[in-house]
């Protein structure tokens, strides 16, 4: 069982407690929990938990403030972890039974230099973390949750002349009630910079598994071009529910749009599994009525200085905790949270350690 330390004891013996929390780690073969924990700590009591096994590239693990440990997805969880991702129990992650957990990034170290981040340690950053109290909680209106946002050009790289972003793909709920996955792999332009072709790949789901990759090359000729994922074919006369997605080649848009009249929708595929290795498309927690991206108050990019980690600051391809603090609102309770490490006691990646305290 993970030990919980009072603030005074924590300040005197952080070094020892950081070693002790290693006993809380999940077995390396158990990626889903549950983990053991203790009942919720007292107000302002700083708690450390981890390293927790979030090393899977395609499986989230779920943490509960109430138990102080990992719980199944069907349990009363607040935070979800996967590698360097930190997610909230929101409809976009937890589905219709979500607790609608909210978050707010304090950005306390967003302006820190890389050299300063490298110098941070759990001990040196603890005093600033510990003094954060209820009086510093902002108004409720600034808290947000993880959510799906409109991203109609998400299939493209727009830094410079547009190119296809084949790393991005979407799980699609189809107009006929089926499911599939879609991505763009190439886009070409005429000398006059009008779209000449858009090459798409798609896989249609049969039963509980996705089929082989099908390729479709659209030649929009300046007109909106619609297509069906289930047939991997262009629809010359789109009507009713005979199409799923359409491409608008207007150079001001270059947008993919879904057939919302027939309940089509999208959910962004994870970085892993990739498009080629995705097993199912019908398992998304929700499907947005547009080409979507997942956004939230805790950035899940190592390039964002508001995020929990920075990357490769010493040329060793390692993640370094930025000790950014996040406020997490679960019901009426508010917790402060930091990620203090990314590695297990043996140096394995994807084993984050967090510290937190309830401040309201």
Neighbours of 275 (CB within 10 A): 20
Sorted by where each begins, the domain ranges of the chain are: 7-146+297-358, 149-295
Radius of gyration of the chain (CA): 23
* Backbone region of residue 33 per phi and psi (left: phi > 0; alpha: psi in -120 to 50; beta: other values): left
pLDDT tens for each residue of 245-254 = 999 999 999 9
| 105's tokens | 């990034």
Question: Helices marked H in the chain — which ranges?
Answer: 7-20, 91-94, 114-119, 122-130
- Please give the share of the chain, as a percent, with pLDDT higher than 90: 83
**Per-residue pLDDT tens digits for 198-207:** 999 999 999 9
0.85 surpassed by pTM: no
Nearest to 258 by CA among 269, 247, 273, 270: 247
User: What percentage of the chain has pLDDT greater than the value 70?
Assistant: 89
**Tens digits of residue pLDDT in 72-100:** 999 999 999 999 999 999 999 999 899 99
Query: Phi, psi (5° rounding) for residue 329?
Result: -105, 110
Between strands 233-235 and 225-228, the pairing is antiparallel
Look at the block and give the residue holding tokens 């946002």: 149
d(CA 108, CA 131): 13
């Amino acid at each position: 069982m993970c030990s919980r330390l009072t603030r005074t004891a924590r300040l005197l013996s952080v070094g020892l407690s950081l070693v002790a929390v290693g006993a809380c780690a999940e077995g390396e073969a158990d990626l889903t929990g549950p983990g053991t924990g203790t009942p919720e700590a007292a107000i302002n009591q700083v708690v450390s938990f981890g390293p927790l096994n979030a090393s899977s590239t395609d499986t989230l693990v779920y943490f509960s403030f109430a138990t102080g440990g990992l719980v199944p997805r069907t349990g009363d969880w607040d935070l979800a972890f996967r590698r360097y991702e930190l997610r909230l129990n929101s409809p976009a992650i937890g589905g219709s039974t979500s607790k609608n957990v909210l978050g707010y990034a304090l950005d306390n170290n967003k302006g820190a230099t890389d050299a300063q981040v490298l110098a941070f340690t759990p001990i040196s950053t603890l005093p600033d973390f510990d003094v954060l109290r209820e009086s510093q909680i902002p108004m409720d209106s600034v808290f947000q949750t993880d959510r799906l946002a409109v991203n109609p050009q998400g299939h493209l790289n727009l830094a410079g002349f547009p190119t296809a972003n084949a790393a991005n793909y979407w799980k699609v709920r189809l107009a006929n009630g089926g499911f599939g996955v879609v991505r763009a792999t190439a886009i070409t332009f005429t000398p006059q910079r009008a779209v000449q072709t858009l090459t798409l790949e798609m896989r249609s789901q049969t039963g509980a598994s996705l089929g082989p990759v099908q390729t479709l090359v659209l030649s929009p000729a300046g007109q909106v071009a619609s297509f069906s994922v289930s047939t991997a074919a262009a629809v010359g006369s789109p009507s009713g529910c005979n199409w799923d997605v359409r491409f608008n080649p207007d150079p001001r848009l270059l947008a993919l749009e879904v057939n919302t009249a027939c309940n089509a929708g999208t959910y962004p595929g994870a970085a892993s599994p990739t498009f080629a290795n995705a097993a199912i498309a019908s398992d998304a927690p929700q499907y947005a009525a547009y080409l979507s991206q997942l956004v939230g108050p805790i950035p899940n990019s190592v390039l964002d200085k508001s995020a929990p980690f920075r990357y490769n600051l010493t040329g060793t391809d390692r993640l370094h905790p930025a000790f950014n603090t996040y406020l997490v609102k679960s019901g009426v309770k508010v917790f402060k949270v930091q990620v203090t490490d990314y590695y297990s006691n043996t140096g394995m990646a994807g084993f984050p350690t967090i510290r937190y305290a309830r401040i309201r």
